[in-house]
A and B are shown apart, each in its own frame.
Chain A
Amino acid sequence: MRDLRAAVGSLGVALTPGSSAAAQPAGVFNPETFTLDNGMQVVVVPNRRAPVVAHWVWYRVGTADSPLGKSGLPHFLEHLMFKGTEEIPPGAFSKIVARHGGNDNAMTSYDFTAYYQMIAKDRLELVMTMEADRMVNLRLADEQVYPERDVILEERRSRVDNEPGALLGEQLTATQYLHHPYRLPVIGWFHEIASYTREDALAFYERWYAPNNAILVVAGDVTAAELKPLAERTYGRIPARPLPERARVKEPPQHAARRIVLHHERVRQPTLIRSYLAPTFTSEGKEHAYALEVLAEILGGGQTSRLYRAIVVEQALAAGAGSFYRGVSLDSTTFRIYASPRPGTDMTQLEAAVDQELDRLLADGVTAAELERTKRRMVAEAIYARDSLQGAARVFGSALTVGMAVEEVESWPERIAAVTAEEVAMAAKAVLRLERSVTGVLLPAPAGTMG
C-alpha cells in the first residue's frame, strides 16, 4: 500500500485482429474526453462489464520534481495525503472507502503521483468529493507527519536495504544520469527522508497540487455524459492556480561508458544489467520510440527473442536474459538489457555474449520475418489490456501526465504495425552506444563487501 511502482507497461491496446469489425468498436479503449473550466483534463473509459469504477487522479509532479536535498518528497506527500483534511480525520480516508466497499491506494513515479479508488459505481460521487477535498484541504499535524516519515524509512529498508538487487538498481540509475533528477530514487535517499519536515511537505503540496495540474481518469460503468456533472460539482469547484514551470535540469551529453560493481554478502546469484540512455515518446529523439519498443521485444521480449535463444538456450550461458524499454517518460528513459548467469559462467563471458548479440543486431539489423511476427504479437497481446479497468486507467494516466495525447494512445497499434526494419536498425544505432551506457554487475562478496 502507499507504494511507489514506476510508470507501468505498454501503452498497448489493439484493433481486434481477425474478428468481425461490426461486433467491436473501431478504437482501442474508445475513451471520451473533456476538460473542466479550471483546466482539469478528464478521460472516461466506459466498460459495462461490472457496476464498478476505477477512479484515478494523476498529478503532473513526481520524483524528478523533488526539491534539492529532499529527494523522494513527492512520495512522502503521497503518504501524507491520507493523513487528514478539514473534513476527513487523519487515517479515515481509506477507512471510509473501505466502509463503502472500495479499495484504494496511490503511487509515485518520476513524472507523476496518482491516487485511486476502485468502488461500486454508485459511490463514484463520494470518492470524487473526497479526492477533490484533499486536493486543496489537506491538514497536516506533527503527530501524523513524523510517524509517517518513520514508515517510509521502514519502506526503504524493506524495498532497498534488504534487497541487494534494488541497491544495485538505485546506484545504477544514479550513475546513468549525470545530472538529471531521474537519477534520484523514487523513495528518496535515506538521509534526505530523515530530514523531511512538515513544512517541506506542505510547501510542495501548495506548489503543485491544483486541478489544472491534474488529470481525472475514470474507467468502468460510467460515460462522459454521466461523469461530467459529477466532475463539475466536485473538482470543478476548485479554481485553477498558477503553476510553477515544470523545469528539470537537462542531462548533458554523455561521453563515457560507466561500470559499477556491487559486491554484497547476501548475493548468491549474480546479475548483469546494461542500461542505455534512450529517448521517449515526448523527448528529442521521439521518432525512435515505437521502433525501440519493437526492438526491445525482438531483442529480449520473451523466450523466442534473440537474447534468450542465443544466451539462455543455444549457448546455455545464462539462466535468464531479456530487454526492457518503456517510452512513457517526460524527458528521457533507458533501454535495458538483463542477464543472469548459470553456474560455471563468469560475468565477463556473459557480458561478452550479450555484446555479441547487440553487435550482430547493429551490423545486420532485424529480419522481415522476426519483425512481422513480433509486431503482430504486440498488437494481439494488447487486446487483453482492454479487460482491465485499472490497466486502462494506468495507460491513459501515465501517458497524459507526460503530455501525450489520447489520440496517440488510441493509435498505438497502427504505429507499431507501421514500424519498419530500417527504423528498428536506426533506433538501435541511435541508442545502443556504449558511451551513453552504464553496466551494472551484482556479485557475491568478498571484495569491498557491503553488509
Chain B
Amino acid sequence: MKDGPDHTVRAGVPGTMLTALLASLTHTPASPPAAKVVEVTSAKGIKAYLIQEPSVPFMSMSFHFRGGAAADPPALPGLAYMTGGLLDEGAGPYDSLAFRTELEDNAIRLTFDADRDGFTGELRTLTANRGHAVELLRLALTSPRFDEEPVARVRSQILTELRRRETDPDYLASRAWFETAFAGHPYAHPTRGRPESIAAITVEDMRAFVASRLARANLSVGVAGDITPEDLSALLDHAFGELPAEAVATDIPPAAPAVGLTKVVPLAIPQSVVIFGHGGIDRHDPDYYAAHVGNYILGGGGFSSRLTEEVREKRGLAYSVYSYLYDLDAAPLWLGGVATNNEQVAQSIEIVRAEVARMAKGEVDEGALGDAKTYLTGSFPLRLTSNDQVAKMLVGMLVHDLGADFLDRRNGYIEAVTLEDVRRAAARLFAGEMLVAVVGSPVGL
C-alpha cells in the first residue's frame, strides 16, 4: 500500500538491518592469499609466468613481443597490425582454409594484434588439443605463408574498416589527439595504418617484419589454466624455440605530448566526442600508485569519480566521462574522454578542467582517499577470476617488470599511499595544460 508519492515503503528488509550491516563490515574485504605464480624459464631461455588452475580443462596464454606499431617504417604505418592479421591465415603445410579449419575444428583460439609498444598474441586451447594448438602457433610464427588470396582479403578487410572509421567520432578523436600530441614522433602514426600505407604493404615487408621483430629476447609470456610448469617449459620451446635469439632494435625516443590547445575536427553529428589529456607518470616512478589513486578519485572510479558526479549525475550532461593512466613506454600519458550533445560540449570541458584543477590544488580528503583505497584493493581479486584475465595480468607483469610476486605486493602499494602522497602526485600530474581533441559540431569552441 503506498504511503504517498515520495514514500513508497513496503514490507521488506528493515532499514535498520541494512544500516547495521553496513556499519558492521570493515571496509576492506579480507585480501585472499594470491594464487601462486610460478616462474618458468625454458631450456632456450623463454620466460613465462604461470598460474596453474586445473578446474577447467583448458589453458589461456598471452604473449608479447616488445616493439609494436610505433616501430612501423614511417612510410608503412599498419605493418605490424596487418602482419598480425595474416599470421593465422595459413602456415606451413596448411593453406588459409586448412589452417582456419584446424583452429575451428579443435576449438583453438589463436589471434595476433599490435599496439603502439608491442606485437601480441593469444592462444586458448582445451587440454585435449594442446599439442596440436602449440604446433599451429609454432607454424604461424615461423612459416607463415602469406598466400595471395588471404593477403588480398585481409588487406581489403583492413581498408574496409579504415573506410568505416573515417566517420567514426571515437576513432577520429583519438587519432586527432595523438597526431596533434606527437606530431613528428612515431606515436603519431595510426596503429592500423592509413589507406595508402595499407595498400602499399608487400609480402616482403611482412616477411621482413616476422624475421626481424619476433625473437626470444623480446618475448614475454603469461599462462593460466590446466598445465604444469614442466609441460609449459616444453611448450614454450616448441612454440617459440625456433625464433631468432634477438630482434632488431625498435627503441622509440622519449617524448612529451604537445599541450595547451584544443583541436576541433568538424563532423555533422548530434553528439560531440572529446578526448583530453597530457603527460602521465612513469610506471616505476615512486609516485605511480599515488597518481593511480588520485586518478581513481578524479575520473577512474566510474560512479565514484568526481567527473561522473559533476558531469553526469548532477547535470545530466553526458552518458560517459572518464579518465585513466596510459602507460606508453616512451610517453606515459594521462587521458580521458566525454561525449555530449554539441550545445553542451564547452560546458562539459569547463567542468572537466575545473575538477582537474581542484585535484591539482590538492583538494582531497581522507574520506575520498579511504574509499579509493578500499575499492582498489578490494576489487583486485575480481581481475583474476578467469584464465583469460589471469594470463593477461601475468604477461603484463613481465612486460612492465613488476616481479613475480606482484600479486602479493600490489595491494600493499595502494594501502601505503597517504594523503600527502596523493596531493604531491596530483600537483605533479594535473597542474599542467591539457590537449583537447573534439570531433563533432561543438558550439562555442
Contacts and interface: CB of A to CB of B under 8 A. Distances in A.
B445 interface: no
Given A98-B304, A101-B375, A384-B124, A162 B27 contact: no
Contacts of B382: 52, 101-103, 118-119
A136 interface: yes
Interface stretch (A126-134, A170-178, A323-331, A400-408): A126-134
Contact of A98 (B5, B53, B371): B371
Given A49-B385, A87-B18, A238-B11, A151 B319 contact: yes
A138 B6 CA distance: 9
Contact of B160 (A126, A162, A199, A269): A269
Interface stretch (B28-36, B184-192, B396-404, B420-428): B28-36
Contact of A101 (B2, B377, B385): B377
Interface in B90-109: 96-97, 100-101, 104-107
A358 interface: no
Nearest to B164: A269
A123 B381 CA distance: 13
B25 A377 contact: no
Contact of A266 (B32, B101, B268): B268
Interface in B50-68: 53, 55-58
Interface stretch (A12-20, A64-72, A286-294, A425-433): A12-20
Interface in A122-153: 122-123, 125-126, 129-130, 132-133, 135-141, 146-153
Contacts of A387: 56, 58, 386-388
Contacts of A312: 153
B83 interface: no
Given A94-B303, A303-B100, A161 B271 contact: yes
Contacts of B18: 87-88, 129-130, 133
A48 B18 CA distance: 27
A239 B128 contact: no
A377 B126 CA distance: 11
B157 to A, nearest CB: 5
B41 interface: no
Contact of A154 (B15, B19, B269, B316): B316
Interface residues of B, number: 91
Contacts of B104: 302-304, 373, 377
Interface in B102-123: 104-107
A147 B6 contact: no
A118 B383 CA distance: 10
B384 A50 contact: yes
A316 B153 contact: yes
A388 B11 CA distance: 35
A132 B100 CA distance: 48
A268 B164 contact: yes
B432 interface: no
Interface stretch (B230-238, B307-315, B355-363): B307-315
Nearest to B100: A303
Contact of B268 (A135, A157, A381, A451): A451
A91 B2 CA distance: 23
B35 to A, nearest CB: 8
Interface in B229-277: 267-271, 273
Given A50-B384, A162-B271, A383-B56, A377 B107 contact: yes
A132 B62 CA distance: 40
B339 interface: yes
A312 B157 CA distance: 10
Contacts, number: 253
A272 to B, nearest CB: 13
Interface in B1-44: 2, 5-15, 17-19, 21-22, 25, 27-30, 32, 35
Interface in A392-440: none
B341 interface: yes
Given A49-B53, A95-B304, A103-B379, A137 B9 contact: yes
A346 B165 CA distance: 20
B200 interface: no
Interface string A333-365: 000000010110000000000000000000000
Interface string A255-295: 00000000001111100000000000000000000000000
B317 A99 contact: no
Contact of B13 (A129, A149, A269): A129
Contacts of A302: 100, 104
A155 interface: yes
Given A50-B32, A122-B30, A137-B15, A158 B271 contact: yes
A133 to B, nearest CB: 5
Interface in A294-336: 302-304, 309, 312-313, 316, 319-320
A386 interface: yes
A380 B375 contact: no
B270 A161 contact: yes
Interface string A166-200: 00000000000000000000000000000000010
A26 interface: no
Contacts of B374: 99-101
B316 A123 contact: no
A24 interface: yes
Given A101-B374, A119-B378, 11 more contacts: A82-B303, A94-B304, A100-B27, A123-B25, A126-B21, A136-B12, A147-B314, A157-B341, A206-B2, A383-B56, A383-B57
Closest 4 CB pairs of A and B: A101-B378, A150-B316, A147-B316, A120-B29
18 contacts: A19-B127, A50-B35, A52-B381, A86-B15, A98-B375, A100-B27, A101-B375, A132-B13, A151-B312, A158-B271, A234-B13, A238-B10, A269-B160, A304-B101, A316-B156, A380-B106, A383-B58, A387-B386
